[in-house]
Amino acid sequence: MVGVQQDQEVGSSVWTVPNVISFLRLALVPVFAVLIVSHHDVWALIVLAFSGFTDWLDGVLARRLHQVSRLGQMLDPAADRLFIFVSLVGLAWRDVVPLWLVVVIVARDVMLMCLLPVLARHGYGPLEVSIVGKGGTFALLYAFPLLLLAEAPGVLGTVAHVVGWAFTFWGVGLYWLAGLQYVVQARKLVAADAAAGAA
């Protein structure tokens, strides 16, 4: 959940208000996929805007209601990544974005997925989302609706195209920078574990 403080107690509850909101966001992913592929752009933008609002809302509620949970810490970034992936595939399907952009973003997530079994063998779970990773995700989640809006004619489409691609390049840069930070962090954890075992 966005903005969760490090010192807040993390619970194991499943049916919390923030988690229900995250489940709702996950349920909207296939709805958004159908809308974007079928060219229902207005409704697709509404779903994206609602998803962005609930992404902010579940973080706020988690802090104020003291309902930060381990499940929520996994659901929220999972919903973000699914929306990014579905947006990318849908926009590429419609030739709004080039295929190389899909490859660049998906390759980063595949790289991080390869770290999970390595970390698991040493008793570690998924690494905590960094502020850089949150920034990259934020930029990409704003970029894709703007690129979709760029299909509109006139000044609105032109401005959305320029701003959308600015967010895209910033997002990709931050996304990969965070990914490399995760790799370095994972190597340090594994090295420290190996050194402790040898001792």
DSSP codes of every residue in the chain? -TT--TTS--B--SS-HHHHHHHHHHHHHHHHHHHHHTT-HHHHHHHHHHHHHHHHHHHHHHHHTT--BHHHHHHHHHHHHHHHHHHHHHHHHTTSS-HHHHHHHHHHHHHHHHHHHHHHHTT--SPPPPHHHHHHHHHHHHHHHHHHHTTSSHHHHHHHHHHHHHHHHHHHHHHHHHHHHHHHHHHHHHHHHHHHHH-
Kindly give the parts of the chain with pLDDT less than 50: 1-7
Q: Write down the pLDDT at residue 18.
A: 77
pTM tops 0.85: no
Q: Write down the pLDDT at residue 121.
A: 87
Q: Write down the pLDDT at residue 19.
A: 80
Q: Write down the pLDDT at residue 161.
A: 95
Q: Write down the pLDDT at residue 45.
A: 86
Q: Write down the pLDDT at residue 59.
A: 73
Q: Write down the pLDDT at residue 14.
A: 66
Domains of the chain in sequence order: 17-193 (1.20.120.1760)
Q: Write down the pLDDT at residue 154.
A: 92
Q: Write down the pLDDT at residue 3.
A: 39
